[in-house]
Amino acid sequence: MKSGLPRYICGICGVLMLLQFFIPAKFVQETVVEWVANSIMIVGCFGLAIGLASLIHSHGTRIRRKTPGWGFSVVTLATAAIVAFVGLVPRSVTFDQADKGVVAHTVTTRVDRIEYTVFGYQPETSNLVASAATGNMPVQRTSKPLFDWAYNYMLYPLGGTTFALLAFYIMTAAYRAMRVKSWEAGLLLSSALVVLLGQIPVEEFLPWVRIHGISVFERLKELIMNFPNMASQRGILIGVALGALATSVKIIAGIERPYMGGRS
Amino acid sequence: MIAPVSKPLVFWQRHYRHIIYVLVFLCVLLPMFLPVKLRVNVSPPTRNVFNAVDTLAAARHDAITNLEAMIAATTNRTGIARLKERLDRLRMNTNGVLMLSCDFAPDTAPELEPMAVAILRHAFARNVRVLALTPSTVTGVQLAEKIIGVAARQSTNLYSARVDGRDYLFLGFRPNMFQLLMAMGENISHAYVTDNAGRDLATQPFMRGIQNYNDIDLIVSITGYTGVPEMWIQVAHTRNKRPLGFGFTAVGVTDYYPYLHSKQIIGLLAGLRGAAEYEIASGLPDAACGRMFSQFCSHLLVIVLVIVGNIEFIYYRRRTR
Amino acid sequence: MIPESMTDLMGVWVAGFLTLCVLSFLFKDNVLFKLMEALYVGVSVGYGVALTWHTGLYPKVVVPFADFVRHVDKKQAQDWIWAVYMLLSIGIGMMFLPRLTGEKHAWLSRFPMAYSMGVGTGMGLPLAIQTFILAQVNKALIPLVVVVNGQINWWASLGNCTITLGTLSVLYYFFFSLKKTDVVSRGLSKVGIAYLMFAFGASFAYTIMARISLLIGRVAFLKDDWIGGTLGFFGFM
C-alpha cells in the first residue's frame, strides 16, 4: 500500500485529466476542471508548510548544536517569526497618525490620511473611500502596517541588491572569460558585441551608423535575434519538449516515481 | 602564464576586480547626474504590444460584431442563450479589458516595474478596464499593488483619477499558478473568490462584465521567471485562444523568439530597453528612458573590457610562444 | 521621492544601510553581509507565511466553507459534492504534515504528492504537446523557396533556409546518442554549434543589460531616495 497505492493514484488521476481534454461536455470542461484546479491549490498550501518546517528544523539544529554561525540562524528564525506574527494578527493598535490635509489634484481634491499600525495586512486598494456622489471630499486612507514597512524597507532592498551584485560579477566575467580562444568563442563574442551595440542608441552619438533612421547595429541585432537565435531556441525548445513529454508519460505510467522520495 | 614585467600590469592583475567594480559603479552613477534622455527606436515586438493595447476598443467592437453575427446565424436555443449572455458581458466594457499579470518580485523590479507602469498608464489613457493579478509570486503582491496605485493616481483625465473597483481591480496572488490559470479559464470569480482587498468578487460590479478569458481582449504578462510565460501560452493562447503579450527580463528574452515567430504571442518587451521603447511609443518618456544613458555607458564599458581582455590574451599568448 | 513621514524616513535609512551592507560583499565576505542574508531569508519566509494565509488558505478554504455552512439549507446536490471533494482535498493536503513528525509516518506524504503530480501532468500534457511541439514544428516546416506573385522572394527564401537549417542542425547536434563519425554528420553538428554560439552570444549581451538594469535600480534608490529623499525631507532640496 505504501508504494503501490501512490502509483495507482498518480496513474488514475493522470489518465482522468488526460481524458477530460477530449470530453467537450460543459460539466467536465467547466465544473470538474475548476474543482480539480481548486483542489490542487488547497493541497499546495499545505505543501508550503513542509518547506517552512524544513527551514525551522535546519536552523533549529544549528542553534541547538551551536555550530559556527548559529547566531545568524537565530536572526533568521526571529525575523521570520516577527514578520509572520505582525502580518497574521489583525490590525488593532495605531501608534502614529499623520493628517496631510487637502491635496489638490487637477480636478479633484482629496484628503490624504496616513495611519501607521503595528499589526495587520492591509492592502492599499481597500482604502479609497470615494464619496464624489455625495459631494464630500474623497478620503484616501492609506494604512501602513509594520508588515508593509518590512516589505518596502527590508525585503525590497535586500532582494534587489542581492541580484544587483550580479552586475559586477558579469562585468568581471566579460573581462576574464570572453576571450577568442576558438572559432566558436569568436562567433559567440562577435554576436555578443553586435547585440550589445544594437541595444544602445549608438546613432544618437554617431549619426553615420544610421541606415534609414535605424543604426546598422540594431538592424544586425534584429537579424541575429530573428534568424540564428530563433532557430537555435526552437531546436532547443522542441528537444526539451520531447524529453518532457517522455518524462510525463513515464510519471503517469508509474515508471518514474518522483513522489516516492527516493525510494521505489 | 609568464609573470608580467611592468608595475602597472602587476597592479592591474592584483586589483582588476576592484577596479572594474568601481568603474561599473561610476558608469551607472555618473550618467544619472546628466540630463540626457536618449531616444530609442521602437522595435517591432514592442510596437505590436503597444498597438494591441492602443486598439483594445476596436478589438472589443469587432468581438461584439462577430458575436452578433454568430447569434443571428445560430438556431440552437441553448446556444443562443449562452451567446447572448456573453454579448451582454462584452457590451459592459466597450473600451476593452486588459488583463495585466505582474509576475515579478523585488529581485526583477528595476527592469519590469517601468514596463508595468508604462502599460498601465497607456491603458488608463485609453479608458481600458484593467484586471491585474500576481499569480506566480507571493512577494510581488505589494509591489504590484503599489505600481497599480501609482499609475492610477498619475492617470488623471478630465473627469477623475482611476478608481479601484471601477476602472481597475487587483486580484492578488493565489497558490499553484497552472491550476489557477486553468480555473480562470472557466470562471475568474470562482478561481479567486475575493480580490486582494478581501472583497467578494461575486458582488463586485467590475466583475459583472468579466467571467473568464473570453471576456478579456488582451493578456499581458510581465515576468522574469522562466516557466511563467509557458504556462500563460498553454492556457491563455492554446486552450482559450486569447491574444497574449509579454514583458520579460532581458536575461531570458532570447528564449521567447520562437513563440513570436510562430505567432503564439503578439509581442515581447525586452528588459529595460523594452520599457524605454514602450514609453517612447506612448509619448511619455519616464524612468526607463532616463536610465538608458547609464545603460549606454555600462555597455561601452563592457565592450572596452572585452577588447582589453582579448588584447591581454593575445599579448600573453604571443609571449608564451 | 521624498518620504512622507519620519517613519518612512527611518525606513529609507534602514533600506540604505541594508543596501550598502549587501554591496560590501564585493570587497570581502563579512559579518554584515551574512547578517543581511539571514535577515533576507527570515523576512521572505515570514512574509510568505502571512500572505499564504491571507491569499491562499483564507479565501480558498475558510471563506467558501463559511459561506457553505451559513447557507447549508439552500445548497443542492452539486454543492454537497463540491463540499465533500474540498474536504477530501484538505484531508489529502494534511497528509503532508506527518513528515514533520519523523521518518515513521513520512510515507503518508506520498499520496498528496502523487495526486498533485498525476493531476498536474495529466492536465498539462495535451496542452504542452500542442504548444511546444505541434505549434513549433508547424512553424519550423516552412517553404524553403518563397514565391510571391510568381516571383521568387530571395530575401524571404534565404531567411527560411537559415531558420530551417538552424532548427534541424541544432536538433541534430543534441542527438548525443548518435555516432557522428562521417563528414556530413560532423559538419551538420558544427553548423548546429555555430547557430548555438550566435544564440548564446545574444543571450550574454541581454544578460549584461539585465544585470546592469538591476544595479541601476539600486543606485537610483541610493541617489534619489536615500540621499535626495533625506535632503528633501529636511528642506535642503
CB distance C155 to B282 below 8 Å: no
Chain B environment of A128 (Cβ under 8 Å): 163-164
pLDDT above 70: residue B161 = no
The separation between CA B89 and the C-alpha centre of its own chain, rounded to angstroms, equals: 26
pLDDT confidence tier of residue A245, bands split at 50, 70 and 90: very high
Q: Which of residues 93-152 of A touch B (CB under 8 A)?
A: 105-108, 123-126, 128, 130, 132, 148, 151-152
Mutate to test the interface with A, among B186, B206, B259 (most CBs of A within 10 A): B186
CB distance B137 to B173 below 8 Å: yes
Q: Are residues B135 and B189 in the same domain?
A: yes
Minimal C-alpha gap between C217 and chain B (Å) = 5
Minimal C-alpha gap between C161 and chain A (Å) = 10
CB distance B50 to B268 below 8 Å: no
HSE of B191, CA atoms in CB hemisphere, 13 A:
30
Which helix (H) or strand (E) element contains residue B223?
strand B218-223
pLDDT digits over A98-108, tens only? 444 434 343 34
Q: Which residue of C has its CA nearest to A5?
A: C111
Write the CA distances from A10 to A44, A244, A256, C113, C218, integer angstroms. 16, 17, 11, 9, 46
**What is the DSSP code (8-state) at residue B105?**
-
Amino acid B130: pLDDT: 94
Higher pLDDT: B85 or B36? It is: B85
Examine residue C186 and state whether it is found in any structural domain, yes or no. yes
CB atoms under 10 Å from CB of B87, counted, come to 16
Mutate to test the interface with B, among A161, A175, A202 (most CBs of B within 10 A): A175
Examine residue B252 and state whether it is found in any structural domain, yes or no. yes
Q: Which residue of B has its CA nearest to C130?
A: B238
What percentage of chain A reaches a pLDDT higher than 70? 80
Q: Does A42 touch chain C (CB under 8 A)?
A: yes
CB distance C2 to A121 below 8 Å: no
Q: What's the grid cell of residue B179?
A: 491550476
Chain A environment of C126 (Cβ under 8 Å): 18, 21
Q: At what angle do helices A230-253 and A4-20 cross, to 10 degrees?
A: 130
CA-based angle C132:C133:C135, to the nearest 5? 80
Q: Are residues B164 and B18 in the same domain?
A: no
Chain A environment of C33 (Cβ under 8 Å): none
Q: Are residues B73 and B158 in the same domain?
A: yes
CA-based angle A160:A163:A168, to the nearest 5? 120
Mutate to test the interface with C, among B147, B194, B268 (most CBs of C within 10 A): B194
Q: Which of residues 107-166 of B touch C (CB under 8 A)?
A: 107-111, 138-139, 141
pLDDT confidence tier of residue C81, bands split at 50, 70 and 90: confident
Examine residue C18 and state whether it is found in any structural domain, yes or no. no
pLDDT confidence tier of residue B116, bands split at 50, 70 and 90: very high
pLDDT digits over A31-41, tens only? 888 788 888 87
- Beta-bridge mates of residue B202: none
Q: Which of residues 45-84 of B touch C (CB under 8 A)?
A: none
Cβ of C40 and A167 within 8 Å?
A: no
Chain B environment of A239 (Cβ under 8 Å): none
Q: Does A243 touch chain C (CB under 8 A)?
A: no
CB distance A9 to C118 below 8 Å: yes
Minimal C-alpha gap between C32 and chain B (Å) = 19
Q: Are residues B176 and B302 in the same domain?
A: no
Local structure of B43: helix, strand or coil: coil
pLDDT above 60: residue A134 = no
Higher pLDDT: B152 or C230? It is: C230
Cβ of A191 and C116 within 8 Å?
A: no
pLDDT digits over C88-107, tens only? 888 888 888 887 777 777 78
pLDDT above 60: residue C129 = yes
pLDDT above 80: residue C236 = yes
Examine residue B200 and state whether it is found in any structural domain, yes or no. yes
Q: Are residues B140 and B53 in the same domain?
A: yes
Question: B24 is in which domain, residue-wise?
Answer: 7-36+295-320
Examine residue C58 and state whether it is found in any structural domain, yes or no. no
Cβ of C112 and A43 within 8 Å?
A: yes
Amino acid B132: pLDDT: 95
Q: Which CATH number is B194's domain given? A: 3.40.50
Chain A environment of C122 (Cβ under 8 Å): 13-18, 252
Mean pLDDT of A250-261: 85
Cβ of A46 and C196 within 8 Å?
A: no
Q: Are residues B164 and B279 in the same domain?
A: yes
CB distance B155 to B130 below 8 Å: no
pLDDT confidence tier of residue A80, bands split at 50, 70 and 90: very high
Number of domains in chain B: 2
Of A125, A201, A204, the CB nearest to B145: A125
pLDDT above 60: residue A128 = no
Of B149, B163, B254, the CB nearest to A229: B254
Q: Are residues B162 and B246 in the same domain?
A: yes
Of B142, B148, B179, the CB nearest to A148: B142
Examine residue B238 and state whether it is found in any structural domain, yes or no. yes
Most confidently predicted of B61-75, B146-160, C49-63: B61-75
Q: What's the grid cell of residue A258?
A: 518522483
Of C51, C203, C218, the CB nearest to B254: C203
3-state SS, A153-192, equals HHHHHHHHHHHHHHHHHHHHHHHHHCCCCCHHHHHHHHHH
Q: Are residues B69 and B89 in the same domain?
A: yes
pLDDT above 50: residue A229 = yes
Mean pLDDT of A53-71: 90
Amino acid B26: pLDDT: 96
pLDDT digits over B196-216, tens only? 888 888 888 889 899 999 999
Of C39, C60, C132, the CB nearest to A42: C60
CB distance C171 to A238 below 8 Å: yes
CB atoms under 10 Å from CB of B47, counted, come to 16
Examine residue C172 and state whether it is found in any structural domain, yes or no. yes
Local structure of B36: helix, strand or coil: coil
Number of domains in chain C: 1
Examine residue B290 and state whether it is found in any structural domain, yes or no. no
Q: Scanning the structure block, which residue is given the C-alpha cell 530551417?
A: C164
Torsion over CA: C2, C3, C4, C5 (sign) = negative
Cβ of A155 and B106 within 8 Å?
A: yes
Q: Scanning the structure block, which residue is given the C-alpha cell 524529453?
A: A243
Helices then strands, counting H and E runs in chain C, come out as: 9, 2
Examine residue B87 and state whether it is found in any structural domain, yes or no. yes
Q: Average per-residue pLDDT in chain C?
A: 90
pLDDT digits over B281-316, tens only? 999 888 899 999 999 999 999 999 999 999 989 888
Report how far residue A65's alpha carbon sits from residue A53's, in angstroms, rounded to the nearest whole number: 18
Question: C198 is in which domain, residue-wise?
Answer: 152-237
- Rounded to two decimals, the pTM is 0.90
Q: Could you tell me how many CB contacts below 8 A there are between chain A and chain B?
A: 184
ipTM here: 0.90
Minimal C-alpha gap between B35 and chain A (Å) = 15
3-state SS, B160-201, equals CCCCECCCEEECCCCCCHHHHHHHHCCCHHHHHCECCCCCEH
Q: Does C220 touch chain A (CB under 8 A)?
A: no
pLDDT confidence tier of residue A131, bands split at 50, 70 and 90: very low
Domain ranges, ordered by start, for chain A: 4-86, 90-152, 178-253
Chain A environment of B164 (Cβ under 8 Å): 125, 128
Q: Are residues B87 and B11 in the same domain?
A: no
